[in-house]
Amino acid sequence: MQDAVVSPEKTEEAKLKARYPHLGTKPGGSDLLRKRLQKGQKYFDSGDYNMAKAKMKNKQLPTAAAEKTEITGDHIPTPQDLPQRKQSLVASKLAV
């Protein structure tokens, strides 16, 4: 009988809601799924990029963050800013 005893799962849920009161009402719903579908997406709007290039003649745009980790928000990324994906030339250590 589980009437008096709160299930461990519900206890954990209460803990989570206490830490994140604004957690969505739709658990595991669209938000989580859409985040999963967008894996690998880099923020890059070509319309903004071209307009920014045109404007750059007149004024400077905010430069890329020194870290170049996450390119989102106000910064307009350029192809040079995107982290270079090096092609893997090193052999696997399993093959030693």
Partner 1 sequence: VNAPRGGVGGGNDFQWCFSQVKGAIDEDVAEADIISTVEFNCSGELLATGDKGGRVVIFQREQESKNRLLSRGEYNVYSTFQSHEPEFDYLKSLEIEEKINKIRWLPQQNAAHFLLSANDKTIKLWKISERDKRAEGYNLKDEDGRLRDQFRITTLRVPVLMPMDLMVEASPRRIFANAHTYHINSISVNSDYETYLSADDLRINLWHLEITDRSFNIVDIKPANMEELTEVITAAECHPHQCNVFVYSSSKGTIRLCDTRAAALCDRHSKFFEEPEDPSSRSFFSEIISSISDVKFSHSGRYMMTRDYLSVKVWDLNMENRPVETYQVHEYLRSKLCSLYENDCIFDKFECCWNGSDSAIMTGSYNNFFRMFDRNTRRDITLEASRENSKPRAMLKPRKVCTGGKRKKDEISVDSLDFNKKILHTAWHPKENVIAVAATNNLYIFQDKIN
Stretch that binds partner 1, among 9-17, 50-58, 60-68 (CB under 8 A): 9-17
| Minimum separation from the CB atom of position 59 to partner 1 (A) | 25
Cα separation of 96 and 93, whole Å? Answer: 6
For 74-94, give one letter per residue: b (16+ CB within 10 A) or e. Answer: ebbbeeeeeeeeeeeeeeeee
The correct pick among 1, 4, 5, 19 for binding partner 1 (CB under 8 A) is 19
69 binds partner 1 (CB under 8 A): no
Check: CB of residue 83 under 8 Å from CB of residue 68. yes
Question: Which residue reads 């994906």 in tokens?
Answer: 85
47 binds partner 1 (CB under 8 A): no
What residues line the site for partner 1 (CB under 8 A)?
2, 7-13, 15-17, 19, 23, 27-30, 32-34, 36-37, 39-44, 79, 82, 85-96
